[in-house]
Amino acid sequence: MSETKTLHKWFWVWEFEKEERWLNEMAQEGWALTCGGFCTYTFEKCEPGEYIIRVETLDNSSDFENFMEELGAESVGRCFRWGYFRRKAELGEFNMFSDIDSRIAHLNKIGKMLFLLCMANIVIGLANCTGATSSRLGWLNLLCAALLAYGLGRIHGMRDGLKHDRALHELPFSLWNVVFSEFSKSSSLPACIPVQAGILLSHANSYQVLNICSR
């Protein structure tokens, strides 16, 4: 029987990347996650780096979990709308988000969940605080709403950062699209060269400004 241990650790919803990073650090140390739950993580002894761990939001259907099984991943727990999966590192990279758009979509899903929870706590909190009998529970709901609003701001900040990175990556391609578009509209090559150069330099300066601002 393999050696096991259970740890208790708290992560906020918007700290999912930190949680996933910690779980993979444990796997690198030879402790693979076998059961993830609310602030509770059970590990079993394994070869260092044997597994890769991923944390993902779930929906009400079983399609996603079936998809993960097809990828060779094993479900090792869930907590509310979060699922924990592990896969053998020897199978190759285990990346859930292959591009910036998929990462933005993931953040949008988390942001929507936080928004709904925040609004629910605000409505319940105000109802409890303004009723005939004011309740401490109402103030607790409002405090939860404030924390969720903070988390929502963090998620929006992460999403805006990804959108900024996407714009920086897409800009060089858009420059050439503009050049070729203007070139195709021109009737003669000599006449259009100054126009193309001016457009390219103008957009290149904008690209340099974006790069400077992002540093």
pLDDT tens per residue, range 153-191? 999 998 898 888 888 877 655 555 555 555 555 544 444
Q: What is the pTM of this model?
A: 0.68
- 21 and 117 together in one domain: no
3-state secondary structure of 72: coil
What is the C-alpha separation between 130 and 139, in angstroms, rounded? 11
- 154 and 84 together in one domain: no
- Residue 189: how many other CB atoms lie within 10 Å: 9
Closest of 123, 160, 155, 157 to residue 142, by C-alpha: 123
How confident is the model over 41-100, as pLDDT tens digits?
A: 999 999 999 999 999 888 766 777 788 888 899 999 988 888 899 999 999 888 877 788
- 106 and 68 together in one domain: no
Domain tally, the chain: 2
- 28 and 115 together in one domain: no
Q: How many CA atoms lie within 13 A of 111 on its CB side?
A: 15
CB 38 within 8 A of CB 11: no
- 59 and 134 together in one domain: no
